[in-house]
Amino acid sequence: MPDRTDRRIGRRGWLRGAAALAAGAPFASAPFATLRAEEPPIRVGFPVPVTGPYATEAADQVRAAQLAIAEFNESGGMGGRRAELLVRDDKLDPGEAATRAIELIEKDRVDFIVGSLSASVQLAVNTVTKQRGILYNSISQSDQIVSSPDWGPTSFHEAMTPHMTATAVGRYAFGKFGKRIAYVAADYAYGHEMVAGFRAVGAGIGAEELAEIKMPIGTRDFSPLMPRLEALRPDILFLCNFGRDQQVFVKQAQESGLKRMTHIVAPILLQTARIAGGAQAFEGVLGGTSYYWGIERDVASAKAFNDRFRKAYDGRLPSDYGALGYSGVRSVLSAAVKAGSTATEKVASALAGMKYDFYKGPQYYRACDHQSVQSVFIIESKANGRVPEDVFNVLETVPGQEDLLKTCAQEGLG
């Protein structure tokens, strides 16, 4: 049933996407006049799930990506060539995403593709871009995209991997709360990869695993898990699910009293899910994130990015996954400028090993697997603050180092 819903609302999503594009238009149109009109623009395809359960996050990705395009054009583009963003709705469906990617490449003649908001969707896009020799920068989590056999010379990964997220969050949690642990995981790639990541950390310190409970994605009532989890009383409950599933679980952990007996730690705490779930439900929950706007107090590039975002979008602040849309597009365009070309091989070799600091402090693409090495932030939900996005405290910044990542040999790329 949900699938059909997603399909039917396609048109509405398009309108929303179009509105988002229109919002970015003022940036794009002004510098256009000053640029050489005969040059074809650099086209960046941007397939994201504009409709469906992650529509809110996807809309923010589009906003942030538009900002990167606008900045690029304002700064004169690449020797006068401006850039444009082609937003497509992948409907969170791998088949749909592959179709959109093929159209973007063959019909729209895009130079690069950036996007996606799910592990399986990005792998579908990656298969298409790899075959056709188009550079793809993925902005959602996956271990597989930087591992053999999925990885290819045109595959780049701006988002964190589940392994590095779980390693950073796991080290923090094990150090603080204890060694008796239980997992509740969504029964698909994301959940499995996160559990594997925590397990790797736990194995090193002799953690005791009490239970691993895999639940179907889209579960709306977790209350049947509570009696068992309460009986087990783990020191840490790693909650490896995402979006609304996560929101519903923490709400029900609150009402059942489970929260008083254990520490709930999520590998990824989404800003949007926390806002929709409310402060009461998320009280005391901690987790990791690739970005929280609140780091602007300490990180200059975050301040600059937030300010531009605020200015462009009515005082709004970017979300974690939204911000990835910005850095994903900006890094590819920067590499094109560096390479002085949009040819795939030249841009890929400029991007591999590239060091940059666009919005969250220093990052670089590891040369051997094209994974962006970056800091992971440990955050905790707090009471609602001054603005709607003021929902987390940053507890710790885990600096981006390669010991958070699998080695390229472990990924089968050595």
Partner 1 sequence: MAGLSLDLLALQIFTGLALGAVYVLLATGMSLIFGMLTVVNFAHGAFFALGAYVGALVLAMGGNFWLALFCVPVATGIAGMAVEWGLVRHLYGRGIDDPLLLTFGLSYVLVEMIRIVAGTQGLPFDTPDALAKAVDIGIGYFPLYRLFVIAVTAAILLALWLFLERTRIGLIIRAGARDPEIMRVLGVDTGRIWRLVFGLGTAIAGLAGLLAAPLQGVSPEMGNAILADAFVVTVVGGMGSLAGAIVAGLVVGVIVSLTALFAPEAGDVAIFALMAVVLLIRPQGFFGRAGLMS
Closest separation in Å from C-beta 285 to partner 1: 14
Return the number of the residue (6 or 158) whose C-beta is nearest partner 1.
Answer: 6
Lay out the sheet containing 135-138: strands in order across. Answer: 83-89, 42-48, 112-115, 135-138, 155-157
Which residues in 227-266 contact partner 1 (CB under 8 A)?
Answer: 227-228, 230-232, 244, 247-248, 251-252, 254-257
Closest separation in Å from C-beta 202 to partner 1: 18
Return the number of the residue (244 or 366) whose C-beta is nearest partner 1.
Answer: 244
State how far the Cα of 314 lies from the Cα of 306, in Å rounded to an integer: 12
**Which x/- pattern over 277-306 shows residues binding partner 1 (rule: CB under 8 A)?**
xxxxx-------------------------
Return the number of the residue (29 or 223) whose C-beta is nearest partner 1.
Answer: 223
Amino acid at 350: A
State how far the Cα of 282 lies from the Cα of 233, in Å rounded to an integer: 19
Q: Give the closest residue to 132 by CA, choosing from 114, 110, 116.
A: 110
By CB under 8 A, residue 221 contacts partner 1: yes
Closest separation in Å from C-beta 103 to partner 1: 25
Coil/strand/helix, residue 152: coil
Which residues in 168-197 contact partner 1 (CB under 8 A)?
Answer: 187
Find where tokens 């990656």 sit: 126
Q: Give the closest residue to 167 by CA, choosing from 199, 138, 137.
A: 199
Find where tokens 């390229």 sit: 408
By CB under 8 A, residue 272 contacts partner 1: yes
Lay out the sheet containing 286-289: strands in order across. Answer: 208-215, 180-186, 236-240, 263-268, 286-289, 376-381, 392-398
Closest separation in Å from C-beta 194 to partner 1: 16
**Which x/- pattern over 48-67 shows residues binding partner 1 (rule: CB under 8 A)?**
-----x-xx--x--------
Q: Give the closest residue to 136 by CA, choosing from 64, 127, 73, 91.
A: 127
Burial of 185 (0-12, 13-18, 19+ CB in 10 A): buried
Closest separation in Å from C-beta 131 to partner 1: 33
Closest separation in Å from C-beta 205 to partner 1: 22
Binding site for partner 1 (CB under 8 A): 1-2, 5, 8-9, 12, 53, 55-56, 59, 187, 213-216, 218-228, 230-232, 244, 247-248, 251-252, 254-257, 272, 275-281
